[in-house]
Structure 1
């Protein structure tokens, strides 16, 4: 019986010794945290706008502009850089650009120079007889500069 008690205390002592003192651990984590945060941008320099052109198809264009005086690197967690979603007047989603697509899981970074823009475009073919008011939500799927812009349009 005494051997079990001694063995238990010995195991607890080994674990406590391996973990080290608590004060040193908290100092280390706060140092790492401050270094990690120093890479985060102080302000969001990107500006987004979305244009809609209604014809036989509905054409969407998401323009992303770097409004700062310095270049930025836009990080994407996978191959998806943007998305377009269309909602009817009741708020029901009727189409999403990414719904039928597969994206690789490779991280990617895209540079965008000062005052430069990049445009993401796609088209939606509404079902026959579709008419009324719709809203498109255009999204930049960036992990460090996520942007979303909305625009309303009407199908005659």
Structure 2
């Protein structure tokens, strides 16, 4: 069989040979790709893929807020690094946390930072894996009633927050 370099390949027909057109070539190529894509893959190929890295190696901050309203109102904000790596906390100022108290209508009635001054200098603190940092604050002059305390870490990269409802009994 003689094939010319610029001529399309010949395929057997019922009574001789027929040349393939461009759209016929594309059709056969599409069928071949589809047949290859639909064949099942071996499980051994998937077994060779590396496992994704464990998430426990990353820092993971969790927070809790304790409120004791038996003798005045004491608020303790805890932040723990529950992950497997140290967390570097970036603060835009010397203020590391904020605590506010809301009344039963959601109005702010107390803010820990009100009247305080903070240096406007960026700072970084490291919270090692499994370590906890705690902040103790007191709300003096609380009236009887139901409230919600909200504490948050003012970190730019780990802004965690906790809320807790409480009652001042007096």
Q: TM-score, normalised by structure 2?
A: 0.63
**1-side partners of 2:164 and 2:122: how far apart?**
29
Cα deviation for residue 121 of structure 1 reads: 1.1
Give 2:102's match in structure 1, choosing from 79, 87, 92.
87
More helix by share: 1
Q: Which runs of 4+ in 1 moved over 4 A?
A: none
Give 2:81's match in structure 1, choosing from 45, 66, 82.
66
Instruction: Say whether the 8 Å CA contact 2:59–2:82 is kept in structure 1.
Output: no
Cα deviation for residue 44 of structure 1 reads: 6.2
> How many pairs are equivalent?
113
Match of 1:47 in 2: 62
Question: Higher relative contact order by CA 8 Å / sep ≥ 6: 1 or 2?
Answer: 1
Residue ranges of structure 1 left out of the alignment (5+ in a row): 1-42
Give 2:91's match in structure 1, choosing from 70, 76, 84.
76
Match of 1:122 in 2: 137
1:95-134 paired onto structure 2 within 5 Å? 95-127=110-142, 130-134=143-147
RMSD of aligned Cα (Å): 1.5
Cα deviation for residue 55 of structure 1 reads: 2.5
Larger C-alpha radius of gyration, 1 or 2?
A: 2
